[in-house]
Amino acid sequence: MKINLDPGVRYMLISVVGFSLMNLMVKNLSGLPATELVLFRSIVSLGLSYAIIKRKKLAPFGVNKKYLLMRGVFGVTALTLYFYTLVRLPIGSASTIQYLSPIFTAFFAIYILKEPMRPIQWLFFLVSFLGIVFIKGFDPNITPTILLMGVGSAIFSGLAYNAIRKVKDTDHPAVVVFYFPLIATPVMAIWSFFNWVTPTWEQLGLMVLMGIFTQVAQIYMTKAYQSTEVNKVAPLKYVGIIFALGFDVFLFDVIYSPWVLLGIGLVILGVVLNVLHKSALKQ
């Protein structure tokens, strides 16, 4: 049986690569406060988003302002919490906790988007979730506070993704992405004022790259959620764990046990089964 990936799946895979490279940049910027990282990321995104909006002659504040505003607020909260965990944990650990977001995304979609979840898909989610438990579920570096922040990030991400889906018929992806820096820039500028650390030129360069990678990831993630059902593309975020673990092993000398390899297999298995199931239903 021939399986054709729809555009939403392709968009999400591009987004995963972009976010993975963003994680790498953030990890190399651990000496700076998380709020400052979010600020610089937002400044870059604000400029790039506005340039795209002007080039496409779009209305910058969009049509469905309620959900656009919700997308911005939820997204800023999620990213700030995630950056706090990322600068304190290995990339694999921080990413693992945040990868709970597809579960919350699918859960909120039942009520917000009225998208049904078939029982077999919950089994596939469980397989991927068990893989995450094997990978980092018992990491001693994860304190209760960091765990709470990571789970909070996943919850707010799930809400943000549903808000993105809500505006799929009214607003261009560039406008949806624009709302993140529109809210984050003034909020983080005020917050960063009280714990400012002046970055070096090297750090400035890494922050620019962080902003660019994130911009690409955000646009394609938005296109993915607007082009197909949330519960079809959300699980693909789990693929990013492969990049996260690879960065840890090859760049940061983190050693993982055989149990982690088993976890990777379970994560991939759950994702692939979900995609194949959804694709088969479309045929």
Burial class of residue 114, CB neighbours in 10 A (0-12, 13-18, 19+): exposed
Q: What is the pLDDT along the chain (283 residues), one digit of tens a residue?
A: 455 667 888 898 999 999 999 999 999 998 899 999 999 989 998 998 899 999 999 988 998 999 999 999 999 999 999 999 998 888 988 887 887 787 788 788 888 888 777 788 888 888 888 877 776 666 667 777 888 898 899 899 999 989 988 998 889 888 988 999 999 999 999 999 998 999 999 999 999 999 899 889 988 988 887 787 766 777 777 788 888 888 998 998 887 777 777 877 787 787 777 766 765 655 5
- Alpha-carbon Rg for the chain, nearest whole angstrom, is 18
Tell me the whole-structure pTM to 2 decimals.
Answer: 0.83
Round to whole Å and give the CA distance between 60 and 69: 13
CA-closest candidate to residue 232, choices 13, 2, 1: 13
Helices (H), 32-100: 34-56, 65-86, 91-98
pLDDT of residue 4: 63
The residue extents of the domains of the chain are 7-282
Q: If you ran DSSP here, which 8-state letter would residue 239 be given?
A: G
Q: How far is CA 23 from CA 84, 190, 244, 252, in A?
A: 12, 24, 8, 13
Burial class of residue 147, CB neighbours in 10 A (0-12, 13-18, 19+): middle
Cβ neighbours of residue 261 closer than 8 Å, sequence gap 6 or more? none
